[in-house]
Amino acid sequence: MRCLVEDLAAFAGTAGAWLRREPVLHNVLLTLVADRLSGDVPLSGDERFVRVVDGGATVGAAVWTPPRLTQTS
């Protein structure tokens, strides 16, 4: 298992597919990503988009948007 820190576009493309499989469970992360992709919430440059991978498959995700706490799924 390993964690991959990705930029927003890469995270949305890889972890996004995994998050959308259960949108109710992952609604906070999906909203954080969608708001930044659309430009409704500008990127500060301090955000971290992390995907947890096991055997090539995404098994978890986290988004940190300082100064707020890290959101995980």
Confidence at residue 3, expressed as pLDDT on a 0 to 100 scale: 87
The confidence score (pLDDT) of residue 2 equals: 87
Q: How many Cα neighbours within 13 Å face the side chain of 34?
A: 10
Residue 46 pLDDT: 93
What percent of the chain has pLDDT above 90?
Answer: 88
In this prediction, residue 4 has a pLDDT band, given cuts at 50, 70 and 90, of: confident
6 bridge partner residues: 49
Query: 39: alpha, beta or left, given left = phi > 0 and alpha = psi -120 to 50?
Result: left
The string of pLDDT tens digits covering residues 37-67 is 999 999 999 999 999 999 999 999 999 999 9
